Amino acid sequence: MFEEPEWAEEAPVVADLGSVALRPRTTADSQIKGSKHRQLLATLRALEAASLPQQPPSLPGSDEEDEEEVVQRKKKLPKKVLFASTSPEVKKKRKKKRQKQGPPSSDSKEEEVEKKKCHKGALLGNDFAAEEKRKRKCQKQDPSNPAQPLDNVDQTGSKAWNSSAANDSTKPSPETPCSNPPHTLSRKQWRNRQKNKRRQKNKFRLPQAPEQAPATAAAEETEVPPAPSPDSHGARAEALRARMAQRLDGARFRYLNEQLYSGPSSAAQRLFQEDPEAFLLYHRGFQSQVKKWPLQPVDRIARDLHQRPASLVVADFGCGDCRLASSIRNPVHCFDLASLDPRVTVCDMAQVPLEDESVDVAVFCLSLMGTNIRDFLEEANRVLKPGGLLKVAEVSSRFGDVRTFLGAVTKLGFKVISKDLTNSHFFLFDFQKTGPPRVGPKAQLSGLKLQPCLYKRR
């Protein structure tokens, strides 16, 4: 009639645990305990699910194996490559887990969004650091094109982060060299750009006063030749006339020199008598040629005569401007075809107005010109005293054979005392009179035919 409550049967089990442990187990007891254990496990799982984020179920063996593989790969790979290499594999595994699990809950979606944001921020942070390193390297290598300072990057804020994330695909990797980075110029390109800018500025600049002109403009003006003034035109015309006159004088000198060497002395005398200025022109050209020599023969002869007594009388055949007479103390008779000095006696050197055996020294300094050299030497023999001195200086290029010349002179009543062939421009000979000529006037002396001294056109 009265039914006992259900907890009355279960009371001895809860109250007396020791009796239950000693009591032999039955199938009903094991079923009751298994059901309670299951309930407790279910409640624990529910509490864990409520407190922790829900994870997709997976096979018991596959999760542990995947985690071990990922840990081992992370240990093997370097730090820089870890994130880039493991991310695609993890994404594939997560996709597989989501497909098995089904649509994720709202909590798991929020957690995944937060993880993606963190992952994106880490990527941007790494890219930004790499970009800063690349800019510093470029600034060191190319000082002419400095990069943007790092302070400006901090001031840009979120815009810089968004632009770097958007252009991440176009930017070069930090491992690539910065020799050809985008938006940078080489040194040569930068210089050309600066020059073009300066040209554009100067193109539209107003003309400045000379006081306000910069130093660069003055430097450029020095490079450009100034406009020719009337005075400069006159100076150029004068210089041109002087140059043409010099060439004309040179041509006339060569003509006169050829006439003197190719004809007798009588023809040369008539030439200078008809044109007195021709002798002045010839003498000027002759002096300009002799000045180039290291030693002039007239100075050498004057030095030799200084060592002899000053009482010796000297006859200078072809004296020119009487330089020898001005250099020595001896009395000097000066003879030439025309007069440049009052001391000069104008005459043909084959017939000088002197008495026989009246002089001690006869000098021919570069004056054995014409085709009648034998007449000159015979006249010198006539006016020289017995034992008198004959000095001859002549251009070295005129002598074909010096021995034949010396042999011909000895036949005219002289003997060789000394000869100097060391000079490169002229030879110097000293003869002594031994007596009258030993050959008749019709005898041929081939050694006295010297080559003409002709000057080339320059």
The DSSP secondary structure of 80-96, one letter per residue, reads HHHHHHHHHHHHHHHHH
Report for 17-31, 207-221, 407-421: range of highest mean pLDDT: 407-421
Confidence (pLDDT) at 27: 54
In our burial notation (b when 16+ CB lie closer than 10 A, e otherwise), range 308-341 reads: eeeebbbbbbbbbbbbbbebbebebbbbbbbbee
Residue 440 tokens read as 């008749």
Range with the poorest average pLDDT among 45-54, 65-74, 418-427: 65-74
Q: What is the mean pLDDT of residues 165-187?
A: 52
The candidate with the shortest Cα–Cα distance to 328, out of 297, 362, 303, is: 303
Which range marks the domain in which residue 344 is found? 294-448
Average confidence score pLDDT of the chain: 74
Give the span between the Cα atoms of 268 and 104, in whole angstroms.
134
- Name the range with the highest mean pLDDT among 12-16, 258-262, 391-395: 391-395
pTM above 0.75, yes or no: no
Residue 444 lies in a domain: yes
pLDDT score for 376: 96
359: region left, alpha or beta (phi > 0 left; psi from -120 to 50 alpha): beta
Q: How do 359-365 and 314-317 pair as beta strands?
A: parallel
Q: Which residues of 121-150 are buried (b: 16+ CB within 10 A; e: fewer)?
A: eeebeebeebbeebbebbeeebeebebeee
**Cα–Cα distance measured from residue 164 to residue 3, given in angstroms and rounded to the nearest whole number:** 81
Distance between CA atoms of residues 145 and 440, nearest Å: 102
On whether residue 314 sits in a domain, the answer given is: yes
- Lowest-confidence region among 191-200, 230-239, 318-327: 230-239
Average pLDDT in the 108-122 region? 56
Spatial distance between the Cα atoms of 432 and 414, rounded to a whole number of angstroms = 5
CA distances from 388 to 262, 308, 428 (A): 30, 13, 17
**Do 398 and 453 contact (CB within 8 A), yes or no?**
yes
187 vs 385, more confident:
385
Mean pLDDT, residues 38-49: 84
Is pLDDT larger for residue 51 or for residue 86? Answer: 51
Structural domain contains residue 137: no
Count of the separate structural domains present in the chain? 1
Q: Tell whether the model's pLDDT for residue 328 goes beyond 60.
A: yes
In this predicted structure, the answer to whether residue 33 has a pLDDT above a threshold of 60 is yes
- State residue 395's pLDDT score: 93
- Which of 7-16, 53-62, 402-411 is least confident? 7-16
The residue-averaged pLDDT of 395-406 equals 93
What CA–CA distances, in Å, run from 436 to 160, 374, 383, 388, 413?
122, 13, 11, 12, 5
Query: What stretches of 263-395 show up as alpha helix (H) in DSSP?
Result: 265-274, 276-290, 297-306, 323-327, 373-383
Q: Which residue has the tokens 């980075």?
A: 181
Looking up residue 440, the CATH number of its domain turns out to be: 3.40.50.150
| Domain presence at residue 310 | yes
Structure tokens at 326: 């001005």
CA distance readout (Å), 305 to 298, 300, 308, 334: 11, 9, 5, 16
- pLDDT for residue 42: 86
CA count, 13 A, side-chain hemisphere, 102 = 4
**213: in domain:** no
Q: Is the pLDDT of residue 387 over 90?
A: yes
The whole-number average pLDDT for the span 134-163 is 49
Query: pLDDT band for position 125 (50/70/90)?
Result: low
Is the confidence at residue 24, as pLDDT, over 90? no
Give the highest mean pLDDT range of 23-37, 198-212, 214-228, 391-405.
Answer: 391-405
For the chain, the straight-line distance linking the first and the last C-alpha, in angstroms and rounded, comes to 164
Residues 405/406/412/418 CA torsion (nearest 10 deg): 140
- How far is residue 288's CA from residue 458's CA, in Å, rounded to a whole number? 14
Mean pLDDT of 45-59: 64
Whether the predicted pLDDT of 396 surpasses 50 = yes
Checking if the pLDDT of 428 tops 60, the result is: yes
The partner residues of 315 in beta bridges, in order of sequence, read: 333, 362
On whether residue 173 sits in a domain, the answer given is no
CB atoms within 10 A of CB 175: 8
% residues pLDDT > 70 (the chain): 59
As a whole number of angstroms, the distance between CA 230 and CA 218 comes to 23
- Please report whether residue 356 resides in a domain: yes
pLDDT at 76 over 60: no
Do the Cβ atoms of 297 and 430 come closer than 8 Å? Answer: no
pLDDT at 214 > cutoff 90: no
pLDDT band at 446 (very low <50, low <70, confident <90, very high): confident
Provide the residue type at 152 as one letter.
N
**pLDDT at residue 430, as a whole number:** 97
- The first and second tokens of residue 282, run together, are 């010839």
- Please check whether residue 113 lies inside any domain of the structure: no
Q: What span, in angstroms and rounded, lies between the C-alpha atoms of 407 and 450?
A: 14
Q: What is the pLDDT of residue 28?
A: 53
Instruction: Please give the average per-residue pLDDT across 123-144, as a whole number.
Output: 59
